[in-house]
Amino acid sequence: MSQTGVQARRGAVTLLDMILDEDEPRLMSEALAGGVLDKLPPDDRARAQRLATETLRGLERADRLLQKHLSKYPPLFVRNVLRVGTVELCNGGAAHGVVNAMVNLVAQHNKLSHLKGLTNAVLRKIAAEGPEAWAALRAPRLPKWLRGPLTEAWGADAIAAMEIAHFAGASLDLTAKGDAQALAEAVSGTLLPTGTVRVTNPGQVSTMPGFASGDWWVQDAAAALPVQIMAPQPGEAVLDLCAAPGGKTMQLAAAGASVTAVDDSVPRMVRVKENLARVGLTAKTLTKDARAVKGAFDAILLDAPCSATGTIRRHPDLPYAKDGSEFGDLIGLQSELIDHAWTLLKPGGRMVFCTCSLLPDEGEVQVDEALERHGDMTTDATAFGLPGIDPAWITTEGGLRLRPDYWSELGGMDGFYIAVLRKAA
């Protein structure tokens, strides 16, 4: 990071400006793909992303502390400067360095430099009073547009537990290409019950032991379960639909399956190929709409496009950059993908349908309705009998519901829904 930290903090504020823009909000991934931080040195770029992510997680707390010192909200840029500064100060940031850096940011703004005095005064008050007040505040709540339907689905107590998990964030989870225990020892990680290796405070991922040699890839523990549950066998013809970024493709290939990976995005499929090359695994790759795929397969993995509401502990920008308006179209697409994929599955074969969503309409309800449409389809809950899977997570229609508040003593997991659908012989 630069000496004063101004570059990294400016990058964080710029990301927040884009994510929290009222007229055209963007996901952090979209902003990064657009090159917003490309001119920063690697250390500052990583610091900017971390600061923006931490600020989004604590946004409600920051705003509650700031509103006591503001008679009216300043323009978004200054408000985000104050938010980043507040989060840093309340999490142990050195007052002198943080306040000076944030004041310099405002002073350098062509149109808002006159608010540097306000910035200085407010942040000095936060430095004096904020840390103690911060610790007394509740875990930040989800925005109302999302909290409402999730509370209706799971209840107020469950949502409160999920919000605690979201605020805590996520460690780095790794899937080993080979011996998971050996990987855990090499990276000073913890071997979770399902075989994922969890690392706390990992530093730069690309410099970790085993990265360059392709011994592992990053994959949340919940995201690693669909392939484990499928139990692919050597030589089986397996179709991985909506495959990017390729974590499940690599799992399938490592198990010895003959994998066909499909995604409709050229850049995302490039990433799949790069990931396969780094770990030394092979798969046939197709860049096309999953609904246009033809063939016959022993097993199919359909990780369908969804709201991604299960990944908020990793991506706290999602509730602010989205408003739920596109969820209806996604639910319709999921139904289409299930129906088409079913035509590609050989008699006696199995399909694993999954979404990284907390919404029942993208999980339990989808499978209930698919069972009604296809007389030769049944769910197979016996496939969930693996180490680390609590039988209480199995749902009435025969799927598996994972939530961020599960495994709280281990650091949680992403929200996921997984179902094994078997086709009559």
Give the span between the Cα atoms of 17 and 411, in whole angstroms: 30
Give the span between the Cα atoms of 313 and 310, in whole angstroms: 8
pLDDT for 294: 97
Predicted TM-score of the model (pTM): 0.94
User: Has residue 72 got a pLDDT over 50?
Assistant: yes
List pLDDT tens digits, range 238-288. Answer: 999 999 999 999 999 999 999 999 999 999 999 999 999 999 999 999 999
Residue pair 146/152 in contact (Cβ under 8 Å)? The answer is: no
Residue pair 104/7 in contact (Cβ under 8 Å)? The answer is: no
Helix and strand element counts for the chain (H, E): 16, 12
SS3 182: helix
Contacts of residue 152, defined as CB under 8 A and 6 or more positions apart, other chains included, come to none
pLDDT for 204: 85
pLDDT for 2: 44
Average pLDDT over residues 200-219: 92
Residue pair 349/298 in contact (Cβ under 8 Å)? The answer is: yes
Q: Which of 229, 221, 189 is nearest to 205 (CA)?
A: 189
List pLDDT tens digits, range 115-141. Answer: 999 999 999 999 999 999 999 999 999
- Phi/psi for 299 (5° steps) reads -150, 150
Instruction: Report in angstroms the alpha-carbon separations of 392 from 231, 385, 388, 396, 400.
Output: 21, 11, 12, 10, 9
Q: Are strands 258-263 and 284-287 parallel, antiparallel or unpaired?
A: parallel
Q: What is the DSSP letter of 41?
A: -
Give the span between the Cα atoms of 202 and 208, in whole angstroms: 8
Round the average pLDDT of the chain to a whole number and report it. 96
User: Has residue 322 got a pLDDT over 70?
Assistant: yes
Q: Which of 217, 221, 227, 229 is nearest to 259 (CA)?
A: 227
What domains sit in the chain, N to C, each tagged with a CATH number?
6-136 (1.10.940.10), 221-423 (3.40.50.150)
102: its two tokens: 């944030």
Residue pair 334/354 in contact (Cβ under 8 Å)? The answer is: no
Please identify every residue annotated as catalytic. 356
* DSSP string for 219-247: --HHHHHHHHHH---TT-EEEEES-TT-H
Give the span between the Cα atoms of 249 and 259, in whole angstroms: 7
Assign residue 324 a region: left if phi > 0, alpha if psi is -120 to 50, beta otherwise?
left
Q: Nearest 5 degrees, angle CA 293-CA 295-CA 297?
A: 110
Average pLDDT over residues 27-34: 94
User: Has residue 3 got a pLDDT over 50?
Assistant: no
354: its two tokens: 């999954």
Q: Which amino acid is at 407?
A: W
List pLDDT tens digits, range 328-373. Answer: 999 999 999 999 999 999 999 999 999 999 999 999 999 999 999 9
